[in-house]
Amino acid sequence: MFVKAIKCEECNTTVYSRAREDVRECECGRVMVYGGFLTHFKYDIKDKKTKFKTLKMNIKATPNDLYNDYENMEDKFGLIKQKKQETNSTYTF
């Protein structure tokens, strides 16, 4: 399933919203996403100097998986931490 996401290049964390009510921040708190993973996706950057990328990612989850993860506060989805040298299968949109 594809989701829209934001990658904060300051802390190298990618975040996406799991449900319309879900608000997620990157590890350093400079990037925030909310409104769901596709149609209502929104983001906010706390500092105009923050480096970030908008992405479209393919994740192994269903919309129901994402909502249940949010509703049950399991936090298996929505935050991806990466080392600087790692790459993943993301697409810029």
User: Across the chain, what does the average pLDDT equal?
Assistant: 90
| Half-sphere exposure for 47 (CA within 13 Å, toward CB) | 9
Which residue has better confidence, 57 or 87? 57
- How far apart are alpha carbons 83 and 4 in whole angstroms? 21
Output the pLDDT for position 93: 46
Q: How many structural domains comprise the chain?
A: 1
- How far apart are alpha carbons 87 and 63 in whole angstroms? 24
Strands (E), 12-70: 13-15, 23-25, 31-34, 42-45, 52-58
Is the pLDDT at 5 greater than 70? The verdict is yes
Domain span at 49: 2-92
Which residue has better confidence, 59 or 91? 59
Output the pLDDT for position 19: 95
Token match 């596709």: residue?
38
